[in-house]
Chain A
Amino acid sequence: MSAILEVRDLRTEFRSEAGTAQAVDGISLLVGRGETLALVGESGCGKSMTGLSLLRIVPKPYGHIVGGEIRLDGRDLLKLPEAAMRQVRGNEVAMIFQEPMTSLNPVFTIGNQIVEAIQTHRDVGKAEARRLTVELLDQVGIPDAGRRLDDYPHRLSGGMRQRAMIAMAISCKPKLLIADEPTTALDVTVQAQILALLRRLQDELEMGMILITHDLAVVAETASRVAVMYAGRIVENGTVREVLRHPRHPYTQGLLQATPHARKAGGTRRKLAEITGLVPSLYDMPPGCAFAPRCPKAQAVCRSTVPTLAVGGGNVACHFPG
């Protein structure tokens, strides 16, 4: 498998009056061509900030990428000047967000926005760009694409808007697509459609994909590998099957046991396992393992030394992996 994206020890900080927060605290990732890596965790774990860091669009003036490497096809994006980076965004790496309504400009038609995206990166005329746009809308399953082109975003349903967003994202055939909670705002039947669409497009375009989500079931159905994040760090990674069937980090185990799922027919309601306590504030991180205060297995070493992925044999950042 040739890696399309290789991230090493990425660090992004948030500096404000409240102090400095390590929003992304030394993350390393590998995404192969045509592969889907899921980045999973609860709100505030840094998964979205990781996505934004990869495109170097962390919110100014508080966010700063302070270290690491982001190698796209071997080229370190962190070393590129801003002008060259602009050529990467939308062209080689594209991103889609949870709420397409906020990412699409409400005063322009869908068609206009996609045409503009195409013309930003490709030297084509207006008519040609329009023809490509119809093709794209068709490709993402928007019916009657020739007419929908001239619709404003608010005229489309949530699912259709997300399709339009995806059409815009793939307009330049990116090598990597970062999808940040792409189906969280959608109903379950529409979610199934969008996930199926993403899988199909990925095959067709041989894109690498990073799927950022809080939903382990979506991971199970969509990704091949998964990295579980907690408080800015990756606590466990591996193939989806490995991690979901045999989770080794107590946090992953806790998440899986806390997920409600249908009991067996005739069975009684069992109690869900709870993870006690709260996610620590990034401005006030405990020393040692960030999960230690909530961990049932925590020992003295957990409260003093940060476990790296190497500690647990390469795939799990835990002193006492299960």
Chain B
Amino acid sequence: MAFWRQYRRNVAAVIGLAILLVVVVMAVSAPLLYPGDPWDMAGKPFIWPFQSWKFPLGTDRLGRDVAACIFHGARVSLLIGLVATLVAVVVGIVVGAFAGFYGGKVDDVLMRLTEIFQTIPSFIFIFVVVAVFTPTVPIIVLAIAIVSWPQLARLVRGEFIALRGRDFIQGCIAIGMSDLRIIFFQALPNALAPVIVTASVTVALAILAESGLAFLGLGDPNVMSWGTIIGAGRAVLRQAWYLTAIPGVAILLTVLALNLIGDGLNDALNPRLRGRR
């Protein structure tokens, strides 16, 4: 496939994809490998990594299995990252597409709205939303999505403004096609490449945001995320630095992987580079 051939050229992007696949496998296999609740005490506290076959990554101060926490944390981090991004992408596409396609007053209204959301400092906004409502996964997802969509909306709007003037879109208007059909079936597929690239980075940012919340103790108290582990390990940083380092490395690698994938997608989807001899 031409796309894969182009993507493969970017070695860093392939490494990023491999890392992400590992994380996905961890997330998927968590309930199989660690069927119990990761919050449960499993052994003695403060077992260091590589000391025990039973606890390859050690245990925390309450004797919870760190490996189980990391595997289950992968589930939560990925889930929140992906769902929040999906919501942001859908909202961003709808707002951006209508603003860009119709222009004029529609554009003015939608873009002012976008700017209002964009001017709010994002992390503080998430903080407030989660503090006001109960910190549950859906609320966290929603809060992250709300701060992420304006960027995508502006991107999609720009693409649509360029597309609107293109002959093939004019041709669709000329044959009498309905506007919704033109927007979603003619223009949108041609605007998706940069959206996909941006979305991969948005997933990374969402994962970071969630980790930050959990670190501050504002995450969903019922789910184990990487941020939760760091937050819990912070108090014992001097005695057991591995409790913050291991989830920290997991976050770092995942975010890095997503950024590398974003670069790779950009190269592979950018038609200006494609086919260049």
Give residues in A with beta carbon < 8 Å to B.
16-18, 62
Complex CA gap A133/B277 in Å reads 40
Interface of B is mostly: loop
Complex CA gap A18/B277 in Å reads 8
The contact string, 1 if C-beta is below 8 Å from chain A, for chain B 252-277, is 00000000000000000000000001
Complex CA gap A217/B180 in Å reads 48
Complex CA gap A62/B277 in Å reads 9
Complex CA gap A16/B275 in Å reads 12
Complex CA gap A114/B74 in Å reads 64
Chain A residues lying within 8 Å of B277, measured Cβ to Cβ, are 16-18, 62
Residue of B at shortest CB range from A18?
B277
**Total B residues in contact with A, Cβ cutoff 8 Å:** 1
Interface of A is mostly: loop
Chain B residues lying within 8 Å of A62, measured Cβ to Cβ, are 277
A–B Cβ pairs within 8 angstroms, 4 of them? A16-B277, A17-B277, A18-B277, A62-B277
4 closest cross-chain pairs (CB), A and B: A16-B277, A17-B277, A18-B277, A62-B277
Chain A nearest CB from B125 CB (Å) reads 42
Complex CA gap A277/B181 in Å reads 36
Complex CA gap A17/B277 in Å reads 7
Chain B residues lying within 8 Å of A16, measured Cβ to Cβ, are 277
Residue of A at shortest CB range from B277?
A16
Complex CA gap A16/B277 in Å reads 7
Chain B nearest CB from A20 CB (Å) reads 12
Chain A nearest CB from B9 CB (Å) reads 12
Complex CA gap A271/B277 in Å reads 40
Chain B residues lying within 8 Å of A18, measured Cβ to Cβ, are 277
Chain B nearest CB from A62 CB (Å) reads 7
Residue of B at shortest CB range from A62?
B277
The contact string, 1 if C-beta is below 8 Å from chain A, for chain B 46-86, is 00000000000000000000000000000000000000000
Complex CA gap A34/B47 in Å reads 93
Residue of B at shortest CB range from A16?
B277
Complex CA gap A18/B276 in Å reads 11
Chain A nearest CB from B277 CB (Å) reads 4
Chain A nearest CB from B13 CB (Å) reads 21
Chain A nearest CB from B273 CB (Å) reads 15
Complex CA gap A17/B275 in Å reads 11
Chain B nearest CB from A284 CB (Å) reads 15
Complex CA gap A173/B3 in Å reads 52
Chain B residues lying within 8 Å of A17, measured Cβ to Cβ, are 277
Chain A nearest CB from B8 CB (Å) reads 15
Residue of B at shortest CB range from A15?
B277
Complex CA gap A62/B276 in Å reads 12
Q: Which residues 221-277 of B sit at the A interface, judged by CB distance below 8 A?
A: 277
Complex CA gap A298/B277 in Å reads 34
